[in-house]
């Protein structure tokens, strides 16, 4: 379950960033409307994955003989701590992405063509790239644990 939630969350972000966004940029307005609908639907999967990852990660941690509360003496504990910090950052960026995608899908964004919407479109791409980089770092830390 822990690994599956990482695959859904990070895989989805990579698909959005590397497959959907470049195609939408070429295709114009109709594709942008579809992208907004897909982004809104995907954020439901993000929250499902985040909760599952937090719950299963905590269970794995508490069941592991290597886990000692507030002791970061060995590599395993330090990597776990770094992964938890990355997880909190990923949730922070997911919140930002979800809020901006709601705004971009709302009438007040004037179809995504006012100043704030232009800024948000740029931020959404930035947040997605940062989240993908953080996710890859977490996967590498997990493999090294
Ligand atoms: C940031 C996102 C995260 C990703 C991408 C991630 C990924 C993974 C992966 C792929 C594994 C399996 C490693 C293996 O079997 O070799 C794993 C194991 C584990 N994860 Fe995560 N994880 C994340 C967040 C967390 C969080 C937030 C916690 C704790 C609350 C956590 C606790 C654990 C534990 C305890 C293990 C087992 C390690 C072991 O058996 O040595 N993970 N994680």
Domain ranges of the chain: 2-144
Q: How far is CA 129 from CA 29, 119, 132, in A?
A: 23, 16, 5
Q: To the nearest whole number, what is the mean pLDDT of the chain?
A: 89
Chain CA centroid to CA 96, Å:
10
Tell whether the model's pLDDT for residue 47 goes beyond 70. Answer: yes
Indicate which residue's Cα is closest to atom 3 of ligand 1: 138
Report the pLDDT value the prediction gives residue 112, as an integer from 0 to 100.
62
Tell whether the model's pLDDT for residue 24 goes beyond 80. Answer: yes
How far is it, in rounded angstroms, from Cα 101 to Cα 98? 5
pTM passes above 0.85: yes
Tell whether the model's pLDDT for residue 117 goes beyond 90. Answer: no
Report the pLDDT value the prediction gives residue 111, as an integer from 0 to 100.
63
Indicate which residue's Cα is closest to atom 31 of ligand 1: 57
- Among 10, 13, 49, 53, the mutation site with the greatest number of ligand 1 atoms within 8 A of its Cβ is 53
Two tokens at 42? 């995907």
How far is it, in rounded angstroms, from Cα 59 to Cα 113? 46
90 lines ligand 1 (CB under 6 A): yes
Which is it for the CA torsion 125, 90, 97, 29, positive or negative?
Answer: positive
Distance 142 CA to ligand 1 centre (A): 5
Indicate which residue's Cα is closest to atom 8 of ligand 1: 142
């Amino acid at each position: 379950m822990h690994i599956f939630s990482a695959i859904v969350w990070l895989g989805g972000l990579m698909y959005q960033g590397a497959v959907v966004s470049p195609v939408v940029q070429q295709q114009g307005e109709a594709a942008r409307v579809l992208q907004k609908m897909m982004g809104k639907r995907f954020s439901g999967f993000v929250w499902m994955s985040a909760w599952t990852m937090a719950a299963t990660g905590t269970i794995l941690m508490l069941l592991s003989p290597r886990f000692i509360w507030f002791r970061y003496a060995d590599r395993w504990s330090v990597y776990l701590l770094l992964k938890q910090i990355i997880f909190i950052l990923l949730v922070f960026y997911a919140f930002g992405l979800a809020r901006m995608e709601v705004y971009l899908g709302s009438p007040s964004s004037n179809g995504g063509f006012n100043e704030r919407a232009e800024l948000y479109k740029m931020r959404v791409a930035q947040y997605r790239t940062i989240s993908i980089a953080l996710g890859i770092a977490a996967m590498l830390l997990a493999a090294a644990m």
